[in-house]
Each structure stands twice: as C-alpha cells, then as structure tokens.
Amino acid sequence: MRLWQIDTWDNCVTLDMGPITIMKGSHKTWFKIAREINDFFTNRVSEVKIYEDGELINKKDWECLMIPFNESLQLDKVNTKSPLQIIHEKIVEFLAATPQYESILEEWEVFKEEEEIINRTILEKFGLQFRLKEFDESNLKDFFILSSYKGILTPIDSKLLTLKLLLEKEITKRLLIIIELPELYADEQEIEELLLILKQLMNRGCYAIIITTLDDVEGRSNFILKGQVINEARVEMLRSKVFNTIPIPIENEDFLKTKELLLSSVDKVGIKGEFLLDLNNIHRTHIVVLYVILKLLEIEWDVDFTKFPPNLKKFFAEY
C-alpha cells in the first residue's frame, strides 16, 4: 500500500495506490483528478504536487500515458508523440534492409545528375537554382499509410492498440498508465483482453490507474462519497482517533468489520451519491464506529439515535 497525496491550488486528495489503482464513483471528480496527475508528470511547469508517502515524487523518474475515455488514434497521421511511431520505425527498418531500397538510393543519385540541366535550361533566366534533397530512410515514411482491418477504430480498439504498442516499447522509466472507462463501447472479451495486456505491463514494472464502473478489476480501490475520496488507507489512518474518540469499549475486530462495511457500501453508491444502509442489519457498535469515521472524514451521515443508550445520545449530540 502506497499513499499519493495530490495537491492542487484548490484541493488535496489522498489516494491508495498499488500496481493497479481503481477509481470508482463520481466520474466528474475522477476526470479532474486524472488530468491533474497527468499534468504533474507531463507539464514541466505544472503547479500540481504529488507526494508518495510524504516525499515529493521526482517526475524525472517517471513517464505518464493518459488514455482518455474517447481515445482515438489517427492511423494516417503519425507524429513523433504518437504511440504508432514505433510501428513506423519497424516498417522503415524492414524496408531499409531490402535490396530494393539500395536500388532506390542508386537511382536517386542518378536522378540528381539532372539538377544541372534543370538549372541551366529552366531556372537560370529567372536567377534561380534548385537541388534535390538527399534521399534517406526518413523519406520512406512519406510513402506508406496505416489502416485497420476493422475500418473505424472504436475507443476500446484504440485503447487496446495503444497498450499493445507499449508491450513493444523499451521501458526505461517508471511508467504510469491512466485509463478512463475501458468498458465504453467494449464487450466482455475486449475487457478481458485489456486486463490481460495490463497484467503483462504490470509484470514489467508499469503502474495503472483505471477509472471504471467494472466490479471485476482487482487493485487498490478509491471511491467518491459526497465529494470526498474514500479508500482503505484513509480509513486506516483514522484508527487511533476512532479508538480514542468512541466512549464505549471496542475491539480491533469492530474497526475492521466497520471498515469493510464502509468500503463495500461506498462501492455500491450510485450516480446520485446516496449513502444508504439498513441499520437494522448492523450491530450498534459498528454504527457508532462508522459514524465517527465519517465525521472524521468530514462526511455528514444522518442517523436516528433515539433508540441508543443515554450516554451515546449525549456523545452524538456533542460530537
């Protein structure tokens, strides 16, 4: 378990990080946080600060790749920053090793002999001259076009292709991959393929943040409840305060069960952000522990305490 503290000019959040980090809940909130993380790693003058376990992360040791929910790769327009650049390089390397390429170079040199004739017969009277550029491997890129057997690439097609290209790349730094909503326009088989590729990348030391609604993705989970980031790490950090605050004896098992109850319940919070629990099925001690945890997280939770003992009623009224 690693803690990342994301500091911006208007907010500070603590994330529970692992090789795979899951972000669930309010997509609007995660949309902003994901781009702040990406800005920290990719913008040399970023105002965002990220601390890992209290120490500022040295961004020079990292690379960050943002794969947004609407990821789209332009196969016919590949620049130096495109993940498809590695494909261009492989094609050029292959073509440059052929006898035909050597023949082109020889013919080009013959072709250049026409410079003098063109300059004398066409351009001299205008006071102009021209020369042909040298032909080299880089010129080959101008003569081929990439396309997909599928025709139009969907967002999941582009995400899968981007990740497959990463497997071909030599990774020299710690690589963080941020993936938004991989399930968008994807079927079950495509999701399984994406998770399999991610597993291969994790085995090579990469890290991933996945913003998703999927339930079968394993990783360190972070949730949003009433605008607050909730995760196991944040709850664990409150352990001593909880034990020192509650006016009744509690066991460690009570804290662990309440933590599990909170995280499993937050995972089920819908788009409206309503935190609903059937208190009839929860032990009174766990209700008290949960109330204190949420209070410490600055999250309001309305509970009917009329049936609680007088000492607890007094505690809740004053807390």
Q: Biggest alpha carbon distance in the chain? A: 108
188-192, 269-273, 292-296: least confident range: 269-273
Nearest one of 297, 271, 208 to 25, comparing CA atoms = 271
User: Which amino acid appears at position 100 of this protein?
Assistant: Q
CA 78 centroid distance within chain: 23
Copy the structure tokens of residue 196.
């399999």
Place of tokens 């505690």: 315
**Structure confidence by residue, pLDDT tens digits, 284-312:** 889 899 999 999 998 888 877 778 888 88
Residue 315 pLDDT: 83
Average pLDDT value over all residues in the chain: 90
User: Which amino acid appears at position 134 of this protein?
Assistant: E
Copy the structure tokens of residue 245.
């605050």
Residue 304 pLDDT: 79
Segment 197-212 shows an average pLDDT of 95
Helices (H), 56-214: 85-96, 99-112, 115-118, 155-167, 188-203
Element (H, E) at 208: strand 207-211
- As a whole number of angstroms, the distance between CA 31 and CA 53 comes to 23
Residue 248 pLDDT: 87
What the chain holds in terms of domains, given with CATH numbers, is 2-75+155-220 (3.40.50), 85-143 (no CATH), 238-318 (no CATH)
What does each C-alpha distance from 117 to 120, 129, 141, 229, 314 come to in angstroms? 5, 11, 29, 73, 102
Q: Is the pLDDT of residue 36 over 90?
A: yes
318 pLDDT tier (thresholds 50, 70, 90): confident
- What percent of the chain has a predicted confidence (pLDDT) above 70? 96
State pTM to two decimals.
0.85
Q: Is the pLDDT of residue 217 over 60?
A: yes
Q: Is the pLDDT of residue 276 over 70?
A: no
Q: Is the pLDDT of residue 185 over 80?
A: yes
Segment 141-162 shows an average pLDDT of 90
User: Which amino acid appears at position 119 of this protein?
Assistant: N
Copy the structure tokens of residue 70.
């609407």
